[in-house]
A and B are shown apart, each in its own frame.
Chain A
């Protein structure tokens, strides 16, 4: 019997796929639809204290092998979003509330409010590459990552995940800092900072000029980061970055991820991607003699036993 259910930080997931933050997760009804389409858990849009409209369009550029986006953290603010969280929980899968802030204290305050709204866990977005003053500036400093996690842990009674930036030369150090601060898990990776120029227009396409690259193009970077982090910390790792097929998910799990998040894959394969990726994981396990996801965890570090 192949069993693809997993348990991450006490959260029971029917399968190891989660909806990544930023995709189809600004409204409860969309999150409920994703839960229905088979996701094991859902991470919400990144939410701040105040409503934000985000960056001017274009906010997305389609590439052959991924997306470049600079949405700019649009969100209705935690007060209004609390209602969406409550409603989204009716889908029967864990809701992980993503929050961002300009300071460690603000992030912690939001974590507390997100937990109060009913989130089963909180994901600290310490890594948005395209919103000035938020995310990456704070998230590339190990000291500030540690403090953010420590204060967030104090502010809420649910598991705290730290989502890390790959736009640094020392992601394992960031993971260690998150662990020191008491984070229950790390999520890696956020998008890679990038830019696209239209040659005919002679200017950057994105309204914000810079954006974050996601999708198949960044998968090898994500795999490498998860592999490095797995060797550096004891807490669980959740893998994200270009997971589009069951085999991609297996790669992440073998690098050391207990679960994976899918975002750009929803654009590539539609909402049905969750069910399809789960089927592909099961198929792989059957063909290769694995009975549980746990048996595949981190095998790339020591070879299969």
Chain B
């Protein structure tokens, strides 16, 4: 049978603003996904792009930054409009440890927020760093507080909380909070710094990476990172694999497969 196996059309139930440039769309439907896994989101006639799941389960949802033509079109979709979903794909976060430190930089909070929910449902201790350029860009602060995480805020401009990068605040917490496992998602420069800090202290960690993805199913090589495919073997990698990536924080492929600086 040559039926369409991958794609599922779901209706927009609610498209709401989280910050000035970040929105959450809830899609009428159920989709079980491990935090860190992603779906390919098809806006018919416009584009298809990968997005991590911020609300797994029933009334499933994704949280996205409005950046290009595809996400702009998604942001403008009214309730009832159809969006195509393939997935979930890839390897998500795997909860380990009892005293957890999580870091979500910018829209990198999208997969961290459901991870906080699950860890707290298991009554694990969660210290959470939410980082953003400025206080208006902070994502899911209320959601994480309600879930019972100890929330630490960092803003690049100091408009709220710690003034500086999320990686700096996270490094302080590696010592002061005494975590036994670290989980991070955010800008690659941030991840590189946290990988170095966690390595020095021999604290295990997992981080979610981002590369330009086309197929989402591990065949086209556009998301290749040192011969590993972020869409299939990742996007979440454990510390021992993160440390082996020579290209991490250095180069990535553009849509034509040219190496460009991260």
A residues apposed to B, CB below 8 Å: 22-27, 29-30, 32-33, 45, 51-54, 56-67, 69, 71, 74-77, 80-81, 196, 198, 200-201, 203, 205, 207, 217, 263-264, 266-267
Query: Bound state CA distance, A26 and B259, in angstroms?
Result: 11
Among B5, B42, B84, B217, which residue has its beta carbon within 8 angstroms of that of A63?
B5
| A65 and B1 within 8 A (CB) | yes
A29 and B84 form a contact (CB under 8 A) = no
Beta-carbon contact of A62 and B47 below 8 Å = no
Q: Which 7 interchain pairs have the tightest Cβ spacing?
A: A62-B6, A29-B227, A57-B48, A53-B255, A26-B221, A51-B256, A200-B9
**Residue among B3, B217, B220, B222 having the largest count of chain A Cβ atoms under 10 Å:** B220
Q: Which of B2, B214, B219, B259 contacts A23 (CB 8 A)?
A: B219
Q: Is the CB of A52 within 8 A of B256?
A: yes
Tell me, in angstroms, the Cα distance from A198 to B81 when the chains sit together.
14
In the complex, the answer to whether B6 meets A26 with C-beta atoms within 8 Å is: no
Residues of A within 8 A of B49 (CB): 57
With A30-B227, A33-B227, A75-B256 in contact, do A58 and B42 touch (Cβ < 8 Å)?
A: yes
B217 engages A60 (CB within 8 Å): yes
With A23-B220, A200-B82, A205-B7 given, can you name 10 additional A-B contacts, CB distance below 8 Å? A29-B224, A30-B227, A33-B228, A54-B255, A63-B3, A64-B3, A74-B220, A198-B84, A205-B42, A217-B2
Are A74 and B215 neighbours in the complex by a CB distance under 8 Å? no
Contacting pair B214 A59 (CB below 8 A):
yes
Q: Contacts A26-B257, A75-B257 given: A65-B48 contact, CB under 8 Å?
A: no
In chain B, what residue has the closest Cβ to A26?
Answer: B221
Which of A27, A57, A67 has a CB less than 8 Å from the CB of B257? A27
Name the contact of B7 in the complex, choosing from A56, A61, A266 (C-beta under 8 A).
Answer: A61
29 contacts between A and B (CB under 8 A): A23-B221, A25-B221, A26-B222, A26-B253, A26-B257, A27-B257, A29-B224, A30-B227, A30-B229, A33-B227, A45-B257, A53-B255, A53-B256, A54-B256, A57-B40, A59-B215, A60-B214, A60-B215, A60-B219, A62-B4, A63-B2, A63-B4, A65-B2, A69-B215, A71-B220, A76-B256, A205-B84, A217-B2, A266-B219
Q: Are A76 and B221 interface neighbours, CB within 8 A? A: no
Inter-chain contacts of B7 with A (CB < 8 A)? 61-62, 198, 205
Chain B residues with Cβ below 8 Å from A263 are 219
Q: How far is the CA of A64 from the CA of B4 in the complex (A)?
A: 6
Given contacts A51-B256, A74-B256, A77-B256, contact A24 B219 (CB under 8 A): yes
The answer to whether B84 touches A201 (Cβ under 8 A) is yes
Q: What residues of A have a CB within 8 angstroms of the CB of B217 in the complex?
A: 60, 62, 267
- Chain A residues within an 8 Å CB radius of B42: 57-58, 201, 205
